[in-house]
Amino acid sequence: MGLRQVKIEVGRWEDFRRRTHPRFFFHPETARERTLYIAKRYPDEVERSLAIADAALRRQFTFEHLTHRFEGEIDWRAAPSGDREWTYLLNRHSWWTDLGRAYLLTGEEAYAREFAAELRGWMSHPCDDDLTCRKLEIGIRARNWLWALYHFLAWPGFDPRTGLEMLESLREHGRRLVQVYGEKEPVSNWGMVETRGLAYLAMMFPEFPEAMDWRDTVFRRFEEQVAKQVLADGWHVELASSYHHAVISCLMEPVLLARINEVPVPKAMETALIRMLECEMYTAQPDRRLPRLGDADALDARPVLMRGALAFDRPEFKAVAEGSTGVRTLTPIAWLFGPGGVQRYQGMKAVWPAETSKAFPDAGYYVMRSDWSREAGYLVFDCGPVITGLGRSHSHSDALSIVLSAYGRPLLVDPGRYTYFEDGEMSWRKEFKSTRSHNTVVVDGLEQSEYLGGSNWGKIARAGCVLWHGDRVLDAVMGWHDGYSRLEAPVGHMRAIFYMKEPRRLQYWLIIDSLVGSGEHLLEQYWHFAPGLEVKPPEKIPAEEYRCEFIADEIVMATLCDISDIGGDRASGQRVQAELFMGWDSPDYGLKIPASVARIAMQTQLPADIVTSGGLVRGGQMPLVRLGKGNGPPAAALAGTGEDGGNRYHVLVSKARSSTGNYEVRATRDDLHGMERQDGGKRYWVEIDGLCDRFIMPDPEEIWAWRQAGSV
């Protein structure tokens, strides 16, 4: 290259570095000041970045809980464990931002030189394979490169040729993102991720001849995507909590970048984003982590809620993110909005949401919650579409499963996803997707829905809700699925859940599993306890009883099996088998840890009911829990035994459906004898520490008959 060409390149690079428009989330000249501001107030966050950056200097990378060190040049196609997900993450270059933060904090050019060396090394290889240049990675990399670039843009040693080659590579990223957009993109999270990457390029590089066309393409695509991917109740169509969480960021960052640069954004895009944030708020567990629904990890909902609070002036998002004790760090605000954003956020009021429990009928998720404190009782019930055409890859065979927290800590969990890798003798992918890996009932050892691998399924269960009721005292929900209607002797499964949550009383959940049909079947109910819980197994079940009890820390879970006829040898004492064994829990991709699993099994003629009650401890004493079918123990045994003076609730679920096609609940505190005057229906009672509640429900066989006739 001649001297004249060198001068031209240096001039072009300097012009780019000195430009003041468009604006990024921070200016390169103030990047160090912002980073030092964050380091002073939130040192733990910066220490994490420094640790990642120091490992990168050694060419040592940790993804999905697997650490690998390269000797010399980085092999961008490496897959140390055989799992391609590790390779994909390597080619997203997320740690380049950490190298940038480390450089700004310390002033040590080793971090900047490592960034430049890795950048040149990656650009020297052809981007022509599905490992390094899968279209999802192109979209993620476009975003990550912009964040890294603005951390290093003020570095005096940034070689102009390297910088210009980076810009040209980013332009090629944009071209690819326009070209690879296919039929799948409008209806999957991939489309959102790719469009976010193109949005960064379109708004931040007006110098590119294609920039204006790209901008029009971006917002046209986003409008199409939110129309097809965001359900009316706000849930992302794939119904997996981690992907819902990711799509929020895919929408929020372009919206905020557009605001900074006074670029108009389609109203539908902001509206969908706010609805998705509301879903995240209501679905977050008391510890503010998301339940692992579908393919999901244990993600923290607070960062996006904090950003959503400031971006859209939503005080309820702030209240839920902070809880009653506040948050330890405001880095989610500081990195995106800067010191001024932190001040504005701190000046906002926090107001609790008007509701505690929430139904999401389009997604089929129903959230029960006692209050918004970190010690709240919480349950989420899944009785929506088990597998949709738009979310087949991330669905699990988990109809009517629940996730439950008490005292602000998880009790019953969805074990997660663990891996997308399906090779080897043991398919952990299939295991974590299976029905037995969820808190529901397995019939005859079979899956509710038949997973074949990848995004392929055989027979798929349908599911739905026939009842939802929520108020200050009582939440109730009832759902069904037909996954076992394919059996030679078809079986229907319905699950009703009642959450008695009046603050003055001992709170508890009542879960009624009704299995209807004919013939003899093996029924197995599974409960997956959170890792670290000390779970006491049931004592040996007497031959004449169909009940058992598990104790998990301060929670009593009592189960009654209401069975018409038990198969097998009655004298053997095997009417109901209850066991506790060690299974697996995966809080994060690539990580699995031991956790207790309860299995309650019976071979029986149908119909059969399995009734479970989970009672919270009061005053440090384990409550005495009794369950039964019928009108319950004599009323005289209940009088004057509690704060309510013996006047207990009874719950009537109407026998006939309402005009909406669903059932209705009437919860009363009237004389218990009023319960006995109701005709028909199934009756159950729960007695905890001498206080009794009674329930009347429609006959599950009647519901199943309606379902079979297509009426539900």
How does pLDDT run across 628-640, given as a tens digit for each residue?
Answer: 777 666 443 333 3
CB-CB contact of 517 with 606 (8 Å): yes
Check pLDDT > 80 for residue 540.
no
CB-CB contact of 601 with 430 (8 Å): no
Q: What is the mean pLDDT of the chain?
A: 87
The residue among 164 and 566 whose pLDDT is bigger is 164
Report the pLDDT value the prediction gives residue 711, as an integer from 0 to 100.
55
Report the pLDDT value the prediction gives residue 541, as an integer from 0 to 100.
58
Give the burial string for 676-712 (b: 16+ CB within 10 Å, else e): eeeeeebbbbbbbbbbbbbbbbbebbebbebbeeeeb
| Sign of the torsion formed by the C-alpha atoms of 33, 36, 41 and 45 | positive
Q: How confident is the model over 16-45, as a mean pLDDT?
A: 93
- Consecutive H or E run containing 218: helix 211-229
**Residue 516 banded pLDDT, cuts 50, 70, 90:** very high
> Strand pairing of 691-697 and 650-653?
parallel
| Sign of the torsion formed by the C-alpha atoms of 280, 281, 282 and 283 | positive
Residue type, 353: P
CA distance 512 to 509: 10
- Burial of 663 from C-beta contacts in 10 A (0-12 / 13-18 / 19+): buried
Check pLDDT > 80 for residue 517.
yes
pLDDT (tens digit, 9 = 90+) per residue, 38-84? 999 999 888 999 999 999 999 999 999 999 999 999 999 999 989 99
Beta strand ranges found along 18-159 (DSSP E): 60-63, 66-69
DSSP state of 663: -
Report the pLDDT value the prediction gives residue 292, as an integer from 0 to 100.
97
CA distance 5 to 15: 15
Report the pLDDT value the prediction gives residue 390, as an integer from 0 to 100.
53
Residues listed for the chain: 712
Check pLDDT > 80 for residue 562.
no
